[in-house]
Amino acid sequence: MRTSLAIIISVLCLTIPAFSQGMYKHFKVSNDIEVIQISVHSYVHVSYAQLPGWGRIGSNGLIYTVNGEALLFDTPMNDSLTKQLVNWITDSLKIRIVGFVPNHWHDDCMGGLNYLNSIGISSYANEKTLAIVKSKNLPIPQHGFVDSLTLQIGNQSAICKYYGPAHTVDNIVTWIPSERILFGGCMVKELKSETLGNIADADLTEWPKTIARVIAAYSSANIVIPGHGAFGGQELLKHTQDLLTKTK
């Protein structure tokens, strides 16, 4: 019995991923940007900015690379930081960015869009995002989609999909099937979060329904990346659900 139990524990240790941020390779881009390699093809970019009322905040994005090309999901908060990140991707990784998708309309997702537009990187966004940024006279992504968007990169794909209002009315998630990575953005909270954070533009009635749909759709996700804080696994989705329940 002891032998069998030991074998089971060993198998579990091999199959359950460890998500201590220190176990992954870190790259310091600048004092305000770091990049964490989470797989052969994928990197989390973390940028820091001072926000009134919130202090110095780190915001996450995703870089997905295949055969010398990359898709970028979310930018840092402004054009200057975005330029630093793009230059690092181009110069250090020797990779060309071929497309960009923001999770939603806030600055921590597309604050660097002006810079991306200026260097000719194709940008795509939920039609709801396009409507909001047009109404607010903000930089506008070039292409829109209604329900979902599949971007091909090499022989792989990234799927961006809208499941409903949550942190904002326009927020989407991005799924990388080959990596089993889900970039949930700000609708997903890190495990250390004790609140839902900024809810100024949130739909607290629909958010629980939206996160339930995301949980049902991505039960095979191995890594889940929130908009802020440490990434992890499926437990981040359940934690977000629990926070929403407590908020009611």
**Could you tell me the CA-to-CA distances from 94 to 55, 70, 247 in Å, in that order?**
34, 10, 45
Chain centroid, CA 38 distance in Å: 13
8 A C-beta contact, residue 207 and residue 244: yes
| Catalytic residue list contains 239 | no
With vertex at residue 122, the alpha carbon angle to CA 119 and CA 127, rounded to the nearest 5 degrees, is 130
Q: Which residue among 108, 128, 170, 171 is the active-site one? A: 108
Q: Which residue among 45, 104, 128, 161 is the active-site one? A: 104
Closest Cα to residue 102, out of 130, 81, 67?
Answer: 130
| Catalytic residue list contains 186 | yes
Q: Which positions ≥6 away from 167 have C-beta within 8 Å?
A: 104, 185, 186, 187, 196, 197, 198, 199, 201, 202, 207, 227
**65 token code pair:** 């690379």
The pLDDT score that the predictor gives to residue 5 is 34
Fold of 26-247: Metallo-beta-lactamase; Chain A (3.60.15)
The pLDDT score that the predictor gives to residue 22 is 62
| Catalytic residue list contains 104 | yes
Residues 67-104 have pLDDT tens digits of: 999 999 999 999 999 999 999 999 999 999 999 999 99
| Catalytic residue list contains 45 | no
**Domain boundaries along the sequence of the chain:** 26-247
Q: Which residue among 60, 167, 171, 239 is the active-site one? A: 167
In terms of Cβ atoms closer than 10 Å to its own Cβ (0-12, 13-18, 19+), residue 138 is middle
**Could you tell me the CA-to-CA distances from 137 to 113, 130, 201 in Å, in that order?**
13, 10, 17
Q: Which residue among 45, 128, 228, 239 is the active-site one? A: 228
The pLDDT score that the predictor gives to residue 51 is 81
The pLDDT score that the predictor gives to residue 12 is 35
Q: Which residue among 106, 128, 161, 239 is the active-site one? A: 106
| Catalytic residue list contains 189 | yes
Secondary element (H or E) of residue 133 = helix 127-135
- DSSP secondary structure code for residue 78 in this structure: S
| pLDDT tens sequence for the chain (248 residues) | 333 333 333 333 333 344 455 689 999 999 999 999 999 999 999 999 988 887 899 999 999 999 999 999 999 999 999 999 999 999 999 999 999 999 999 999 999 999 999 999 999 999 999 999 999 999 999 999 999 999 999 999 999 999 999 999 999 999 999 999 999 999 999 999 999 999 999 999 999 999 999 999 999 999 999 999 999 999 999 999 999 999 86
| Catalytic residue list contains 171 | no
Give the dihedral sign, CA 42/48/54/55: positive
The pLDDT score that the predictor gives to residue 54 is 77
**72 token code pair:** 């970028």
